[in-house]
Amino acid sequence: MALSAGDAAPDFSLYDDATDEFSLAEAREDGPVVLLFFPGAFTSVCTTELNTVGNDYDRYTDLGAQVVGISTDSPFALAEFKSVNGFPFRLLSDHDGEVSAAYGAKYDNDFTPMGLDRISKRAAFVVRPDGTLAYTEVLENAGEQPDFDAILNALHGASE
């Protein structure tokens, strides 16, 4: 079942690029949280996506939002990806794909000829401080980018 605006955001804890634990429940106590699921570190479309957000990072933080990227890459690969690109936000490792699946953002086994069934789809969610979703977008085409303007628009009313 696909998640929609108004639904409860599945809660989770994951390790980040510094191997520190990130808890969605704790993070949203400080304001809205933008979750950006992406298929893989060091790929061109994912690098473009995260750099787009990184270049506009002040627009997100000015709205009180915390941004995190999520992929099934290891924390160590994500640390290097972050270091090389200078992303100003945390990257979380969903190594087993369970969080991606909970958000409807996990490819099935048919995604690649190698049967990589733990890859995240490109997706964006805005989680309000009360734990409900203000915005949801799951892209079936990994070459597309999220609607960054729609994400920012959703953040305008997500602080309540």
Alpha-helical (H) ranges within 11-65 are 24-27, 44-55, 57-62
Residues 102 and 74: their CA atoms lie apart, in Å, by 19
Residues 47 and 112: their CA atoms lie apart, in Å, by 20
Annotated active-site residue in 24, 27, 46, 91? 46
Strand partners, 133: 127
What region, left, alpha or beta, does residue 41 occupy, with left being phi > 0 and alpha being psi -120 to 50 degrees?
beta
Assess whether 46 carries a catalytic annotation.
yes
Cα dihedral 106, 107, 108, 113 sign:
negative
Which residues are known catalytic residues? Answer: 46
